[in-house]
Structure 1
Amino acid sequence: MGSGISKASYTITVKTGDQKGSGTDVNVYIILHGKGVQTNECKLDNFFKNDFERGEVDRFSIDSEVNMSEVQRIELRRDNCGLYSNWYLDWIEVTNKKNSITFIFPAMKWIKANSRYFFNHHTCLPQDDLFLETRKLELQAMQAEYQLQVKTTPDMAGLPAQVKTLPEDEKFSFHYEANFALEGITLKAESFKLTLMNKCEWQDFEDVKTVYTKAFGVPESSKYFNDDAHFGRQRLSSLNSLLIELCTTIPQKFGVTEDMIKPFLEGKTMSQAMDGKKLFIVDLAILEGCPTKHDYLVMTCPLALFYFNDDKKLMPIAIQLFQQKGPTNPVFLPSDPEYTWMSAKMWYSLADSTYHQALTHLNYTHLMMEGISVATKRHLALPHPILKLLDPHFLYLMAIDSLALVALINDGGIIDTNSNAGIKGHFDIMRKSMLFWKLDLHGTLPEDLKSRGVLDPSILAGAYHMRDDALLLYDAIKTYVEKYVLLYYSTEGSLDADYELQNWGAELVKSRDDGGVGILGVPGNGKFKTTDQLVITLTAIIYTCSAGHAAANFPQYDEYGAPFNYPYYLSGVPPKDKSPVTKETILKTIPSRDKLLQIMTVTKVLSEKATKSLGDFEKQFIVDPKAVKVVEEFRQSLREVGKTIESRNKKRKYPYDWLLPKSIPNAISI
């Protein structure tokens, strides 16, 4: 498009962010740039109006000698005048009043005094950028601000790379509310304890229900007591639904025999059950040798065998609480004394909940994705299409992680004092997982399901709700990513020439010892040669930050609030033989009233959705008309997925709501 010399008027629409202190009283100046032309610098000011207030949209009119049919970029600066000088800018729109064409310039950043900021309307690869030198300088500034670091405390050595110092642009828009919520968790738990407790010890099984006040609500899992079918459903549609594997042979270390489990196989032999793809196993070997908070606390590392019966229920049929079989490590069975079997399930769940918090939740979503998000900001400039695609899925991720490190995951913090493993135990298994977790396997849902023998929908048909719903979302995200990527990489050689993207890929796979993110299993080992490799990588990231985290996070209160079904802390020792376990022993094993209240309080806070739903982006970086169309197609696809899941849930005896698109945030923001 060309430019003219006739006079023009422009409407400048400015959205100030809602961060704490983001409104400003400073003077703001703007220059519009077109092809080879620019306006004079204009002050944005409305007489008798307090402009740039927090969360507000302001409109200004400026006149110029230059009429641009296309505004390619804007140049912005502010001074340091006024009482309140900080300013967080969400976006600016420029409309040429003559042709009514609007150009959108996303910013999403703090505007500092006496610096010049350039925001491009165009989304473009670096090799096509008309303002390449400015782009390089801005990226250098980002690399100085966003630095990777493996935390250097002895406990955290070998863990994922994180941001060294939290940049201003990454802080919460509701920072003080979130800060209050997390830092006040202990105080809230104490107040609940004081108002609710008569005695810290439990009097009977019913006594536990007294903590389920209106403030908390009744956790779903607490509605079932010593229920084998519920225990089986937890493996398929709860917090750790990606552990179960099709069993094709019994491991040598597992002391289960044909005679032991014959009564639970509906007349089948073990071999027939395996051939019919009805036998399943979970092996939590990674917890072997896991440290505990105190020497008197125990951490199990169990194996469990499950049978999918003709009633389409997954039933536990054998549990061995430690890896090496022996006389003091028996295989527990549903035919054992009632509370002995219940105790075995509880000690299994202790290991499952520890794996969940350390790996499924903290490591595989929060920390792994944080390193990726830092590398993204370091290597992809603001006009880069892949930055615009990924950035909405990193919203508040660095902020929540930095807050968690001082409020939750610290020595003497909530996780440390309310779990058997403590932070040393959690960090121990996180370190182990870094040696094998791969983006193209564990981070890529269909490959993960395939590796465990459970991708085929005929296996666990009608029961594996998490798998069935998650695949719909994965496919919708992958289709969205494919369409979007092909908008920018359809030209021969464009992928190879995109040095920003290639530098990003290189940092993703670079060893953490050498300052990289150290992600295993990035396709092409970070050297993207095909769009398919890029699509797999981007889909894994977006899926993990949205649906993956939702499945691992939001059911937390419903599970952790039920100490008989999903304990995170257990006293005493696991059963070592088939002797009857008493009710009194069970009650002394579960967390005390005050510990349970702390666990309930933190999981209640973490289970609250506070940001927008998947596809409804807080950060509207995508403004290209063709790309906007792809986003709208994605939203329509998500609406269809939502209808399908709602239809499924009407037919399910136990509905699974956690992966309804409207329930899934865009990012890991809590």
Structure 2
Amino acid sequence: MDVKYKVRVTTGNLVHSGTFDSISITLVGTEGESPKTALDNWGVDFYTGAVSDYEVSCKHDLGDIVLLRLHKECMLKLFATNWYCTFITVTSPKGAEYRFPCYQWMEGCQTLELREGTAKTPAMDTLPLLKDFRIKELQKRQSDYGWKVFAEGIPHCLDVSSMTELESEVKFSFTKGALFAERGASKTIELKLRGYSDSQESWEKLEDIKDVFWFNKSDISEYITEHWKEDAFFGYQFLNGLNPRMIQRCTKIPPNFPVTNEMVTKFLGDDTTLEKELEKGNVFIADYKILEDVPAGLNNERQRYIAVPLCLLHLTKEKHLMPLAIQLSQTSGPESPIFLPSDPEWDWILAKTWVRNADFHVHQSVSHLLRTHLLAEVFALATIRQLPTCHPLYKLLIPHTRYTFHINTVGRETLMSKGGIFDQQTALGFEGLVKLLQKGTKALTLTSLCLPEDLEARGVSSLPHYYYKEDGLKLWAAVERFVSDIVNLYYPNDHSVKEDCELQKWMEEVFEKGFMDQETSGVSSSFSSVQELKKFLTMVIYTCSAQHSAVNSGQFDFGSWMPNFPSSMRKPPPSTKGTANLEDYKDTIPEINITSTILSTLWLLSAPPGDMIPLGNYPEEHFTEESPRRLIAAFQEELKKISNEIEERNKSMAKMGGPVPFGYTYLYPPEIENSVSI
């Protein structure tokens, strides 16, 4: 009597997931294989979202089902359709269920081999068939996904030249791709119709900047338009703006920034001194030394300028962070004056704008591009190349790599390339961008990428109204618990980590291609303990999700009022005081076309991305066992709790006496994407 297996096949819900082509299946068990069996219930079986049941008959019991083969044959070669299969379940005559995650496209005539979905490290595989499958799967992946050097001294990237070369699995969905293209086109057309994208003139009135994106407003962007000159808001941005990791505690005034008590005593209060405030830990500094020797480029074929500021800040009795002094170079002297809040209005505004311009360069190049996008691509590519689909850490990490290859490839084509946005619309230019990325890469450390350690190292753990810190620490702890619990399921001791050859190859590639073999980074080329593994994986997931959200999502909010976040400066930093005025200011900040293009870019990169999967949501069921699925549910519950706490905090912001009347949402879990995808 024939033995019958029940097979359930699920087609994805993505646009164009279905196919009219013929699909067959072969089951592979420990005791043999089934005949190749057509999956056909008459009519169209594999339409978008279809869940279809079939029977596969065999002459004898196949034992445990460990692999299956899907065969796709084109009905009409000229009209072949692709198929996106998400999941297949096989049930034996005895009721045993075998689950096969797929989540892959089948294109043209193709055979796709899948293994049963139970997560296993190399040591857990004993069958020669499955050991061989692991090796062949990685060999194919390494053939399909290679490394290349975009520029010497920065993290390596995927070896493709354009989006057309990307594998289907890593491309934007039709929905996301269409939305991204439509937004980019609509902004270009709108700006041309208004004449903004062609004018190389200075803004006649600063208020006119509001007209560029008059219909895209938020509470934050509206507030900034009205309050951008205020010192309290300037200080607030070091805590909760786009680049909340520049500030550090100052315990001693640097010799190249000779701020004296006499300069700042009137801003500190009558009952204290600069020395006393330094001792109390109330003085902070933002040092943009990384910009030193970075060459400035040309915009509109005219020279641009880069300052290398030092900014001293003070935590007041009211717990507001206020700027005390600004120097626009790293060398003190008569031609490098120290600007103070008591200086003439436009002197002080211009000095603060130079700091904001320096922050633009460091944020966009280092905090955003290098430390989230480029590192996320390294983590993603090493995962694809070195961890097979059955590996528990592949299953853990793969949701946090979604669309990263696509968005970074777009970035290399349009933003980072010679003639791209960075080259033409920012003071850095292409050469300056590469040099700043090289300096940022050389300065990369594991400590700085791990939020709790970074806060301690910068001496800012106790700063009030630091919502990036407060929300970030909660999220870090939640990710850390989730990662630790997952790792504990598969790695009982340090030896199990050391003997995992696939994991060690993954770390070796990350160290070599991402951290450029730099031992000074504090990153090792291998793992020697469970604890090391947990810490590094926590950093990876946090970087690809929460940290990216913190430095990306507010770009238009904080940058739509261009003087708050200028991409270039047309005149050199002032070498004397008392010469600045409104006209001089307008001739220093970016002209109309540069402003308009940058604002369009910031809007595109921080608008709701479409087809988003929030942090902790895993609609693709890579883990098939009950234990990791329970841990995912617990992680989701913890994120809900954090979300509720943030909601309550934000509702009461206006009553808390903080420097701004709006909440901080860039680390609000429902608005954090699982991966770097925009």
Whole-angstrom CA distance in 2 between matches of 1:539 and 1:601: 34
- In the alignment, is residue 589 of structure 1 matched against residue 592 of structure 2? no
Identity %: 30
- 1:658 aligns to 2:661 (yes or no): no
Q: Which letter maps to 1:320? A: Q
1:143: how far off?
0.8
CA drift of 1:466 comes to 0.6
Matched-pair contact (CA < 8 Å) for 2:31–2:62: no
SS in 1 for 2:362: helix
1:171 equivalent in structure 2:
171
Q: Distance in 2 between matches of 1:446 and 1:378?
A: 30
State the alpha-carbon separation in 2 of the partners of residues 437 and 474 from structure 1: 19
Matched with 1:15 is 11
Q: Could you tell me how far 1:106 is from its partner in structure 2?
A: 1.8
Of 257, 281, 287, the residue aligned with 2:285 is 281
Distance (Å, rounded) in 2 between the aligned partners of 1:620 and 1:445: 29
Please tell me whether residue 479 in structure 1 is matched to residue 481 in structure 2.
yes
Tell me whether 1:202 sits opposite 2:203 in the alignment: yes
| Structure 2 partner of 1:343 | 350
Question: Of 33, 39, 50, which residue of structure 1 is paired with 2:34?
Answer: 39
User: How far apart in 1 are the matches of 2:6 and 2:647?
Assistant: 47
1:604 Cα offset (Å) = 0.8
Residues 196 and 359 of structure 1, relative CA distance in 2, 3 Å threshold = closer
Deviation at 1:262, TM superposition (A): 1.2
- Distance in 2, Cα, partners of 1:524 & 1:232: 33
Aligned equivalent of 2:323: 316
Mapped to 2, the partners of 1:523 and 1:31 lie a distance apart of 48
Q: Distance in 1 between matches of 2:307 and 2:615?
A: 37
Distance in 1 separating the partners of 2:526 and 2:472: 28
1:558 to 2:579 alignment: no
Q: Deviations over 1:201-239 (max 9, x none)?
A: 423232322224215667243231311000001100011
The 1:477/1:388 distance shift into structure 2, 3 A limit, reads same
Whether contact under 8 Å (1:179, 1:403) holds in the other structure is no
Q: Quick one: distance in 2 between partners of 1:492 and 1:309? A: 48
Query: Is residue 469 from structure 1 mapped to residue 465 from structure 2 by the alignment?
Result: no
| Structure 1: gaps of 5 or more residues | none
Other-structure match for 1:271: 275
1:386-425 Cα shifts (integer Å, max 9, x gaps): 0000010000101110111112222222222221112221
Specify which of 382, 387, 406 is matched with residue 375 of structure 1.
382
CA contact (8 A) 1:189 1:601 kept: no
Query: Which residue does the alignment assign to 2:114?
Result: 118
**Equivalent position of 2:658 in the other structure:** none
Distance verdict in 2 for CA 1:88–1:450, change over 3 Å:
farther
> For residues 131-155 of structure 1, what are the alpha-carbon distances to aligned partners after superposition, in whole Å with 9 as ceiling and x for unaligned?
111111111111111111112xxxx
Deviation at 1:364, TM superposition (A): 0.7
291 and 415 in structure 1: CA distance in 2 versus 1, 3 angstrom threshold: same
Q: Alpha carbons of 1:88 and 1:574: their partners in 2 closer, same or farther (altered >3 Å)?
A: farther
State the 1:575 CA deviation. Answer: 2.0
Partners of 2:7 and 2:50 in 1: how far apart? 13
Compared with structure 1, are the counterparts of its residues 640 and 511 closer, same or farther at alpha carbon in structure 2 (3 Å cutoff)? closer
Of 30, 49, 54, 1:61 maps to: 54
TM-score normalized by structure 2?
Answer: 0.90
Between 332-341 and 112-121, report the one with greater CA deviation.
112-121
Q: Quick one: which amino acid aligns to residue 246 of structure 1?
A: R
AA aligned to 2:122 is: P
Say which of 238, 252, 255 aligns to 1:252.
255
Q: Mean Cα displacement is larger for which, 488-497 or 133-142?
A: 488-497
Shift of 1:591: 2.1
CA separation in 1, counterparts of 2:256 and 2:317? 29
Q: Which moved more, 1:377-386 or 1:294-303?
A: 294-303
Q: Residue 272 of structure 1 aligns to which amino acid in structure 2?
A: K
Q: Is 2:378–2:513's contact at 8 Å kept on the other side of the alignment?
A: no
User: Which letter maps to 1:184?
Assistant: A
Distance 1:199 1:441, change over 3 A: closer
Distance between the aligned counterparts of 1:291 and 1:195, measured in 2?
Answer: 28
CA RMSD of aligned residues (A): 2.5
Q: Tell me if the contact between 2:422 and 2:430 (Cα under 8 Å) persists in the aligned partners.
A: yes
**CA distance in 2: counterparts of 1:6 and 1:489, whole angstroms:** 41
Q: 1:323 and 1:510, CA in 2 relative to 1: closer, same or farther beyond 3 A?
A: same
The residue identity in structure 1 corresponding to 2:634 is: E
Task: Tell me, in whole angstroms, the C-alpha distance in 2 between the residues paired with 1:533 and 1:88.
Answer: 40
Distance 2:605 2:418 in 1: 20
Answer whether contact 2:156 2:513 (CA < 8 A) is retained.
no
Post-superposition CA distance 1:543-572 (Å, at most 9, x none):
000000000100000112112222112222
| Corresponding position of 1:444 | 450
Segment of structure 1 superposing worse, 628-637 or 157-166: 157-166
Whether 2:638 is the aligned partner of 1:637: answer: yes
Pair 1:613-2:622 in alignment: no
SS at match of 1:576: coil
Helix, strand or coil at the partner of 1:115: strand
Cα distance between partner residues in 1 of 2:280 and 2:216: 47
Distance 2:189 2:595 in 1: 13
Question: 1:519, CA displacement in angstroms?
Answer: 6.6
TM-score, normalising length from structure 1? 0.91
> How far apart in 1 are the matches of 2:386 and 2:409?
22
In the TM superposition, what is the alpha-carbon distance from 1:69 to its structure 2 partner? 8.8
Larger mean CA deviation between 570-579 and 344-353 belongs to 570-579
Q: Verify the 8 A CA contact 1:441 1:521 in the aligned structure 2.
A: no
In structure 2, the partner of 1:188 is 189
1:604 aligns with 2:603: yes
Query: In the superposition, relative to structure 1, how do residues 275 and 362 fare at CA in structure 2: closer, same or farther (>3 Å)?
Result: same
Deviation at residue 180 of structure 1 after TM alignment: 2.0
Distance 2:422 2:587 in 1: 21
CA distance in structure 2 between the partners assigned to 1:240 and 1:348 by the alignment = 12
- Quick one: which amino acid aligns to residue 512 of structure 2? K
Aligned twin of 2:657: none
1:669 corresponding residue in structure 2 = 677
Cα shift at 1:158: 1.9
State the secondary structure of the residue aligned to 1:76.
strand
Partner residue, 1:293: 297
Relative distance call for 1:556 and 1:625 in structure 2 (3 A) is: same
CA distance in 1, matches of 2:411, 2:351: 32
- The residue that corresponds to 2:163 in the other structure is none
Q: Does the CA-based 8 Å contact 1:559-1:565 persist in structure 2?
A: yes
The offset of 1:52, in angstroms, is 3.0
Deviation at 1:47, TM superposition (A): 0.9
Is the partner of 2:233 in helix, strand or coil? Answer: helix
Counterpart for residue 239 of structure 2: 236
Shift of 1:195: 8.0
Query: Shift of the alpha carbon at 1:81?
Result: 3.5
Question: Structure 1 343/492 Cα, relative in aligned 2: closer, same or farther at 3 Å?
Answer: closer
SS in 2 for 1:45: coil
Which residue does the alignment assign to 2:229? 226
Secondary structure of the residue that 1:311 maps to in structure 2?
coil
1:244-301 deviation per Cα after TM superposition (whole angstroms, max 9, x unaligned): 0011011111121121111111231112111211100011101011111127211011
Alignment partner of 1:355 is 2:362: yes
Check conservation: 1:523, 1:537, Cα contact below 8 A.
Answer: no
Alignment-mate amino acid for residue 626 of structure 1: S
In 2, Cα distance between equivalents of 1:258 and 1:92: 68
Indicate the residue corresponding to 1:75 in structure 2.
69
Deviations 1:293-352 (A, max 9, x none): 127211011100000101111000100011111111111000000111000000111110
Q: Do residues 138 (structure 1) and 149 (structure 2) align? A: no
8 Å CA contact retained: 1:12, 1:93 = yes
Distance 1:84 1:396, change over 3 A: farther
Q: What one-letter code is carried by the residue in structure 2 that aligns with 1:637?
A: E
Q: What amino acid is aligned across from residue 70 of structure 2 in structure 1?
A: L
Contact 1:88–1:108 (8 Å) recurs in 2: no
Aligned pairs, how many? 651
Residue number in structure 1 paired with 2:99: 104
Per the alignment, do residues 530 and 86 of structure 1 end up closer, same or farther by CA in structure 2, a change over 3 Å counting?
farther
SS in 1 for 2:524: helix
Q: Secondary structure at the match of 2:448?
A: coil
Instruction: Tell me the distance in 2 between the aligned counterparts of 1:521 and 1:109.
Output: 39
Matches of residues 450-529 of structure 1 in structure 2 within 5 Å? 450-455=456-461, 459-461=462-464, 463-490=465-492, 493-510=495-512, 518=517, 525-529=524-528
SS of the residue corresponding to residue 558 of structure 1 reads helix
Question: 1:327 & 1:185 partners in 2: Cα distance?
Answer: 49
